[in-house]
């Protein structure tokens, strides 16, 4: 087995200390490039080291930025195009979790990017826009998510990618992957934006569209102050879809955007007789995805039932009764408590809480690390009590 020196990323300041021409700095730069390109780089694994370091920030539009990250030392990032990571942040002393789709492509595994729209009045997106710059470290879990073009690859290589606004991010990861792999695919990417100034990744799409088998068609609702739009205009309609994709029925369709946009797409495709088994969508609001599982919602009638346990929430100073077949979060909500949560299905990590005593049965989907479970953390949205519990919340 070949032994190799520990991998380390040279700091920019370290490189700036020397004159670029000096042999030392040249050798350091060569070493850096050689290390980064080492095919044997270990994978980034949020179970082992969940820190991501910001390496670059790109302004995509007036209110959208891309943040590029890598591990603290060189790592390869593996994910399926369309998946997301959950940022685990501490903002003003509060722990906050938010999910962001990976907008980069796993074909370029050294870096991982997210692209976020700034929501005025929001907690995390303005913080990212205002705070994130090269060198800033954050924690993240993932990747996760079922919306991806690997598990739902098109049998004939034909794709229709549909997005609106910041919903472009998972589809951009797919488009970049198809483009980099230069496979025999036929990708049609229709992106809806308010105006030309709001088209995210406009130049990247234009560059990819130079390759055969890739078409990118932006659709704008209106002009920008400094550009009148000459392309497709208005909201997406079935005749518009059929005009640009006469072979619509042969395509695997992926869509992401606000709930009304996706409702419109669904109804157009259903109306056209499209096989909805070949339609896949992602929502940036978990509540828009599907109703809560019966298992997660509190049972309507627990009269005949199962054991009931006392669950004490230390910070909220509340104690409630939770039947053994009910998730703790659902019972707390039913009791009128407002606890942090987002996906309610064990994905995002927002409801993570410390279990001070007792035992739960937890069925999560990647929103918590094994070492956190070992430290007594639980996701209360997908945990049912097996005894009386004391939870720090």
Ligand X SMILES: Cc1cc2nc3c(=O)[nH]c(=O)nc-3n(C[C@H](O)[C@H](O)[C@H](O)COP(=O)(O)OP(=O)(O)OC[C@H]3O[C@@H](n4cnc5c(N)ncnc54)[C@H](O)[C@@H]3O)c2cc1C
Instruction: Give which of ligand FES, ligand X, none residue 124 binds (C-beta under 5 to 8 Å, depending on kind).
Output: ligand X
Instruction: Give which of ligand FES, ligand X, none residue 121 binds (C-beta under 5 to 8 Å, depending on kind).
Output: ligand X
Cα–Cα distances in angstroms (integers) from residue 257 to residues 165, 263, 270, 385, 393, in the given order: 6, 10, 18, 36, 33
Q: How far is the CB of 284 from ligand X (least distance, A)?
A: 4
C-beta of residue 317 within 8 angstroms of C-beta of residue 184: no
By DSSP bridging, strand 252-256 and strand 51-61 are unpaired
Given the complex with ligand FES, which of 172 and 343 has the nearer CB atom?
Answer: 343
Given the complex with ligand X, which of 124 and 240 has the nearer CB atom?
Answer: 124
18: Cβ contacts below 8 Å, ≥ 6 apart:
24, 25, 28
By DSSP bridging, strand 64-70 and strand 112-117 are antiparallel
Q: How far is the CB of 289 from ligand FES (least distance, A)?
A: 12
11: Cβ contacts below 8 Å, ≥ 6 apart:
none
Given the complex with ligand X, which of 326 and 344 has the nearer CB atom?
Answer: 344
Instruction: Give which of ligand FES, ligand X, none residue 349 binds (C-beta under 5 to 8 Å, depending on kind).
Output: ligand FES
- Tell which residue, 213, 72, 80, has the closest CA to residue 138: 72
| Chain residues that interact with ligand FES, rule: CB under 6 A | 341-344, 346-351, 367, 379, 381
- Token match 């870096």: residue? 111
Instruction: Give which of ligand X, ligand FES, none residue 105 binds (C-beta under 5 to 8 Å, depending on kind).
Output: none
Given the complex with ligand FES, which of 253 and 381 has the nearer CB atom?
Answer: 381
Q: How far is the CB of 208 from ligand X (least distance, A)?
A: 19
Quickly count: other Cβ atoms within 10 Å of residue 63's Cβ: 17
Given the complex with ligand FES, which of 102 and 362 has the nearer CB atom?
Answer: 362
Given the complex with ligand FES, which of 111 and 380 has the nearer CB atom?
Answer: 380
| Chain residues that interact with ligand X, rule: CB under 6 A | 84, 98-101, 114-117, 119-125, 166, 169, 284, 286
Q: How far is the CB of 176 from ligand X (least distance, A)?
A: 14
Q: How far is the CB of 345 from ligand FES (least distance, A)?
A: 6
C-beta of residue 107 within 8 angstroms of C-beta of residue 177: yes
Residue 348: half-sphere exposure toward Cβ, Cα within 13 Å = 20
Q: How far is the CB of 360 from ligand FES (least distance, A)?
A: 13
Distance CA 17, CA 25 (A): 9
Given the complex with ligand FES, which of 311 and 343 has the nearer CB atom?
Answer: 343
Instruction: Give which of ligand FES, ligand X, none residue 379 binds (C-beta under 5 to 8 Å, depending on kind).
Output: ligand FES
Q: Which residue spans within 71-213 are E strands per DSSP?
A: 84-91, 94-101, 112-117, 137-144, 158-164, 186-193
């Amino acid at each position: 087995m070949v032994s190799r020196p520990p991998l380390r990323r040279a700091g920019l300041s370290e490189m700036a200390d020397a004159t670029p021409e000096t042999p030392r700095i040249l050798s350091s730069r060569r070493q850096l490039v050689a290390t980064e390109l080492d095919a044997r780089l270990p994978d980034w694994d949020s179970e082992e080291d969940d820190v991501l370091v910001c390496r670059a920030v790109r302004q995509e539009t007036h209110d959208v930025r891309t943040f590029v990250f890598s591990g603290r030392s060189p790592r390869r990032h593996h994910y399926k195009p369309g998946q997301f990571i959950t940022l685990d942040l501490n903002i003003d002393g509060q722990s906050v979790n938010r999910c962001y789709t990976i907008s980069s492509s796993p074909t370029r595994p050294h870096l991982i990017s997210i692209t976020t729209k700034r929501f005025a009045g929001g907690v995390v997106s303005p913080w990212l826009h205002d705070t994130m710059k090269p060198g800033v470290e954050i924690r993240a879990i993932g990747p996760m998510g079922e919306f991806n073009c690997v598990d739902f690859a098109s049998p004939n290589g034909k794709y229709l990618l549909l997005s609106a606004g910041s919903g472009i991010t998972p589809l951009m990861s797919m488009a970049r992957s198809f483009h980099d792999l230069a496979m025999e695919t036929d990708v049609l990417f229709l992106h809806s934006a308010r105006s030309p100034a709001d088209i995210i990744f406009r130049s990247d799409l234009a560059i990819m569209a130079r390759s055969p088998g890739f078409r990118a068609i932006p659709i704008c609702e209106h002009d920008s102050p400094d550009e009148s739009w000459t392309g497709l205009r208005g909201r997406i309609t079935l005749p518009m879809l059929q005009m640009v994709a006469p072979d619509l029925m042969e395509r695997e369709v992926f869509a992401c955007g606000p709930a009304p946009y996706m409702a419109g797409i669904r109804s157009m495709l259903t109306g056209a007789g499209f096989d909805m088994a070949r339609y896949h969508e992602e929502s940036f609001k978990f509540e828009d995805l599907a109703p809560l599982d019966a298992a997660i919602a509190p049972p309507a009638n627990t009269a005949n039932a199962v054991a009931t346990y006392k669950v004490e929430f230390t910070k909220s100073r509340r104690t409630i009764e939770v039947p053994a077949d009910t998730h703790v979060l659902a019972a707390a909500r039913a009791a009128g408590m407002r606890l942090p949560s987002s996906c309610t299905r064990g994905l995002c990590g927002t409801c993570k809480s410390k279990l001070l005593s007792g035992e739960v049965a937890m069925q999560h989907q990647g929103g918590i690390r094994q070492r956190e479970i070992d430290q007594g953390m639980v996701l209360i949205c997908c945990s049912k009590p097996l005894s009386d519990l004391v939870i720090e919340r």
